[in-house]
Structure 1
Amino acid sequence: MKRRQDGEIVNAFHHLHATVMSRVFPHMARFLKGQELSFQHLVTMFTIKFAGPQNIAAIAAEVELTPTAASRMVDRLVKAGFLDRTEKPGDRRQKLITLTCKGQALLAEFPAVTTQSYAEVLAPLPEDLLGRLAEPMNELREHLPDGPRRQS
């Protein structure tokens, strides 16, 4: 059942998120260019971070590439030191793709930029408003999933 305030809440979150992302995306574009990474590379690494080790077929499906193209992409990320291929326990023919320490370090930069952007956007707000928002936001966080989930 849709409550009357759902649309207002969604719109407010959308506005806040869009404002923050307008600060994050330029940083992300500069960062990816400097690392010679594409958005598909980033999606692949975040998928592995949140879903755990993946095989080529799963990566191909996630980034909408053929298995051959996904395998070449993974090869480039392995060569760059961001990913590693390991044998699947119990089936040495299957390879699992995992993040290396270098890949994990790369992904760690994005939450910091996002958090800083939220802090900058919220900084000019009145202190009493931020105080009133703190408790419901903490309560909301308790009901959210642990990490990003793919939408079908």
Structure 2
Amino acid sequence: MFARWRGVAGHAVNEAAVDAVLTASRTLIAVATKSLGPAAEETTLAQYRALVVLASRGPQRMVDLAVALEVVPSTAGRMCDRLVRKGLIRRHRARADRRSVLVSITAAGRQVVDQATARRRALIAGILGQLPAGQQQAVAEAMAAFAAAAGEIPDSQWPQVQPDAPPGAPAALRREPSQASQGVRP
């Protein structure tokens, strides 16, 4: 049965598909929460999302981070204040425009993301291991299409950003926000 909803591309949305994704999303949220492990005591899921944006896109202006997280800039600012106090991100002046302040992930913040990703990978592998190979492939293809439709990029395509690179470091060590880095959701 098709719902009355239409996607951005104008395609009718299959209600059964929506229900299946909603059901799967509960499992994925549980996996995401469990994957934070010990960091969950000090890092909220929203703060983790901010770390992922910074890890995947490189340094961001506060307003750009707020857009990526779909929150108002003041909320992003308070979240960043907490992450700075925890040593997971840092603020610094942009090289191109010294009036602009960027936030970037620190080595400690990158470690939180990397450890959570490793735990998440193991949890997902455990779930997928309960499916036959053909179903695993079907899930992989469906999830890749879903992620692409949402504007998400695979971890393997994240920029290689050196955490804690000084603001004046060569471009190879740090990355300024660019149009190419916009439009990707954490």
Q: What's the TM-score bracket when you normalise by the shorter of the two chains? A: 0.5 to 0.7
Out of 104, 111, 114, the position equivalent to 2:117 is: 111
Question: Once the 2 structures are TM-superposed, how far is the Cα of residue 136 of structure 1 from its aligned partner?
Answer: 8.9
Match of 2:31 in 1: 24
- Structure number with greater Rg is 1
Q: Matches of residues 8-87 of structure 1 in structure 2 within 5 Å?
A: 10=17, 14=21, 17-18=24-25, 20-21=27-28, 23-28=30-35, 31-34=38-41, 36-61=42-67, 62-67=69-74, 69-87=75-93
Deviation at 1:109, TM superposition (A): 2.0
Question: What's the TM-score, normalizing by structure 2?
Answer: 0.57
Partner of residue 184, structure 2: 149
Output the amino acid matched with 2:85: K
Tell me what 2:127 maps to. 121
CA distances 1:93-125 after superposition (whole Å, capped 9, x unpaired)? 211111111111101122222221222223233
1:132 Cα offset (Å): 7.1
Which residue identity is paired with 1:65?
V
Residue of structure 2 aligned with 1:102, choices 101, 108, 121: 108
Work out the CA distance in 2 between the residues paired with 1:47 and 1:137.
Answer: 23
Provide the rounded CA distance (Å) in 1 between the counterparts of 2:101 and 2:117: 29
* Higher RCO (CA 8 Å, separation ≥ 6 residues): 2
Q: 1:7 to 1:117 in 2, by over 3 A?
A: farther
Q: Do 1:19 and 1:121's aligned partners in 2 also have CA atoms closer than 8 Å?
A: no
Decide whether the 8 Å contact of 1:86 with 1:97 is kept in 2.
Answer: yes
- The CA RMSD over aligned residues, in Å, is 3.7
Percent of aligned pairs with the same amino acid:
20
Give 5+ residue unaligned stretches, structure 1: none
What is the number of residues matched between the two proteins? Answer: 144
Counterpart of 1:130 (choices 130, 133, 145) is 133
| Letter aligned with residue 76 of structure 1 | R
The 8 Å contact of residues 62 and 77 in structure 2, kept in 1 or not, is answered as yes
| SS of equivalent to 1:97 | strand
From the two aligned structures, give the one with the greater helix fraction. 1
